Every structure is written in structure tokens, then in C-alpha cells.
Structure 1
């Protein structure tokens, strides 16, 4: 990543919840950034809670281990999720399904707060689309049976995603708090359908990018009690640090942009999104 400009550090007020950050990613170690470095920087920026999501059985275990090792250390609460991303749907089998059902059972760890990320990705198509749809539906059933929120991944697959979720909703197999559409790039119209079903909408770095008219319109349309913020670290670094590796310490810049769009103070946005994150993950 770019090293040509100094990193901007948020020095304002507010308590923040990064609702989606892949902190076990190997690129941090390659950069020489330890978990201690990342969490101390996050704490200094006012980030007190982070959820670390998974994308496979392997990373589900890694996310659990990260939470076990670092929750509460350096003043940051670290939660996690388990699940199989659409990229990995082709490898989903009975063993993966039993793993998810077992870990999400009645004795699940207290820091395990969601299943995900799960969904559909037609941009990369790393797994066949019919396979993605089947695995998504199966994990939706697991989420409902386990009574746990889901973290939705959707890219270039809005209509199929909506159709599958509506089918679950109509058969009474979505919770009152079904989960969050993370890094939401949907249209206002499609996102509104998710909100009607009870979903939260996650905003991250791209909202800060110049000329992101679609993101601004979406942010303006979402009820304040449905908005959460995230980094999706190590990806999608917000301005003014775009071009550098993303970390939770940069999530306040998403809040700053939301404050501009919604004509609120950053402290108000921090409070709203922090409280929404707690409700989303039922903490």
C-alpha cells in the first residue's frame, strides 16, 4: 500500500463501534502491524468495540481465536462471527454445515454474535451462482434456527439476494432482527426492502469517496435507527487515508462523512451508530 503520505489520525470526540473488520488478515503482519498496534490505535481514536467477521470454516476458527486472545485487551471489546462467504460456497459441504450448527448451538461462546458473512457475489463469481444461492439459503436456515443475526454480503446480486430473503421472510424464517447488509452498495429501493424486513445498513469507506452520489442518496434514505458503520478492514480505506491499509482507527472518518450528509455532529452520529451496533449484535 501507499507509504507516500502521512496517516491522518482522528482526534475528535465520540465512542465508535467498527461492526466489520477482518483483523486476522495476514497483510497486517506483512506490514509489521501487530494486533496490539491495531487495537491501541483503534482505542486512541475512540473505537471501543469491533466485530471480526469470518468467510470460511478456517477463518471462523481464526476469528474465534483472535477474539479469545484480544477481547478486552487494550480497552477494546472484540466480538466475532462464523460463516461461509459466497466466494467459498463451492467448498461448503456437510462438515461445514455441521460445524456451523454445532458452534451456533445452545452452548455457543458469548462473543460469537452473528453468522457471516454470507450472501451472493456475482461480481467475482468465484463459486457457481446456483451453488451460492443454495449455500446462502442453507445458512439463512441455520441463522434462524440458531436465533442469531446474519451479516449479509451482496455484490452485483441485489435481485437474487432480495428474492431469497423475501422467501425466508414470507415463510416466517427471518428473525425480527435479521442482521445487517454490510458495505451496502444497493439502490435506495432495494435497501428499503431490506429495512422493511428489519435489516440494518452498514456504511464504510466508499461513502467518503468523491462523487459517490449513490452512497450519499442511500445514507440520506436510511432511518437513523438502522445505520451502522464499519471499516471492512483491511479493505476500502476512507478518505483522507485512502491508499493506505485500512484499520478500525479510521472508522470515525465514515462517521464524519455521515455527519456531513445528515447535517449532524460527529458525536451524534457516533452515539447513534454505536447504539445501533449494540442492538444489531444484541450485546
Structure 2
């Protein structure tokens, strides 16, 4: 069994064939999928999906691109979004300076509020970071530990950063989730880093509908394709695919403790 630790099944790309998409994932051995809600007003659609399909669970937060639209969203309001039993994580949140779609200050303040909510709820946080590694690590360190709350746990999702980002994130207690990017021809540096990530900190994802892995590159991504990413990372670690699948599945359920393991 494999887990797709990050996809966006509420996106319009899947609306016309969601049953087929989930069916293909199940046939490919994907036993659990985490679908990520990136704007609070989309949460009802995510909840409808996770209630419809037993193997789907959800997370909710404000994507850094959207931060400018939610500068008034409080920690308490973020917590209110997570009350459904199948909403098991907070995010995605984080920092993305590549496009500048939201001011850096709004992104940083929103990121801090998500981290505080995650620690209060003791839920994993799903972190997006692009061209913002120094600020991402600084805020994770400042907000992720200390006080009377549990230390932060969570994921650097769709990892495409530096070795330093991976190493420092692991030190801070986070997992590294690898997407189809790790299969791309020009991703030698990412593969070199992925090879050295401790096996108990690795997850795999699609980020569907984006970033389809080789040999599906150029197509709309979907959860079934996570098997290709998993196979490539297993090869990097010199493991049989079945062993790697077991390890990453265990990592996922050890992290997302709100999900009853027996339901998968």
C-alpha cells in the first residue's frame, strides 16, 4: 500500500471524473490520499469528498499565494476549520516569493498563525516553500518549539529545495515529501538530497493535478501516479518498492495520528 500525502482532488480538474480518479488510485495500490484545501471557503467541497470516499482525508489552510485575502484570519478561526474528524492537518501554508502574489509580510504573518494553530491542535502542518528558505526555516524555528504546547510536526511538501532546507527541516522535526519533481531529468541535486533523507522522515505525493512524474510527465497528474515517484525514490535508497511503500505508509500514519490506522 502507498499513500499520496498531498493532492488537490477538490480542484475543477477532477470534477467530471472523480470516481474514476479514485478508482484508478485504488487499483494502483494507493490506500489513502490526503486532499488539501487551500482556501477556507472551499472546505465544504473537501469535506464532501472525504465523506464520500473512505480512503480520503483532508487538510485545510491558506496557500501563501492567497495570504493577502485572509490577513484577518485568526488562530481560533483556523482551529474552527479543523473540527471535522476527517480533517487531519493544517495547510498548506508557508512562503512563496517566486510570483509575489501576496506580500511577504502577509505570508509570514499567516504562516505564523497556522503554526500556532497546528501546535494548539497538535496536528501536522503542511508547509509550502519556494524561494523563501531562510524565512521559512526562521519562522519554523521561532514558532515551532517552546512554551507549553507540543513541538510542531509536519511536512515540507513537494520538496524542491536545497540540502540545507532538508537537513534543517528534519532537525526541526519535520518530514520531507517528495513529488514527481524527483523523477525529472534535471533534478539531480534533488535526487542527491532525497537519497540522504532519513527513511523515517520520507513521504511521497503527487501534488495532483500538477507535476506528473516520469513517465507521465506532461499529463494531468493524479494520485495513481504516486507509484512512479515512490519507485524512483525506492531505487535511490536501494530498497524494494514494497519495503519502501511500507516504510512511507508507516511514516504517514505515525505523523497523521488523527487517522485511525485500521480504516486505511
- Give the TM-score band, short-chain normalised: over 0.9
Q: What does residue 240 of structure 1 align with?
A: 215
SS in 2 for 1:53: strand
The corresponding residue for 1:113 is 88
Which of residues 84, 87, 99 is equivalent to 2:65?
87
Instruction: Give 1:228's aligned residue.
Output: 203
Q: Deviations over 1:20-57 (max 9, x none)?
A: 0101110224xx4x111001100110001000011111
Aligned to 1:133: 108
2:228 is equivalent to residue 253 of structure 1: yes
SS at match of 1:228: strand
TM-score normalised according to structure 2 size: 0.93
Match for residue 8 of structure 1? none
Residues 54, 117 of structure 1: 8 Å contact kept: yes
Which protein has the larger Cα radius of gyration, Structure 1 or Structure 2? 1
The number of residues matched between the two structures is 258
What is the aligned partner in structure 1 of residue 9 from structure 2?
A: 23
The ranges of structure 1 where at least 4 consecutive aligned residues each deviate by more than 4 angstroms after the TM superposition are: 95-98
What SS does the corresponding residue of 1:20 show, helix, strand or coil?
strand
Is this contact kept in 2: 1:180–1:280, CA < 8 A?
Answer: no
Give the aligned CA root-mean-square deviation in angstroms: 1.6
Structure 2 residue ranges without an equivalent (≥5): 260-264
The question of whether the paired residues in 1 share the 8 Å contact of 2:145 and 2:151 is answered with no
Partner of 2:44: 61
Q: 1:190 to 1:238 in 2, by over 3 A?
A: same
Q: Which moved more, 1:57-66 or 1:188-197?
A: 57-66
SS of the equivalent of 1:19 reads strand
The correspondence for 1:208, drawn from 174, 179, 183, is: 183
Listed as ranges, the gaps of 5+ residues in structure 1 are 1-14
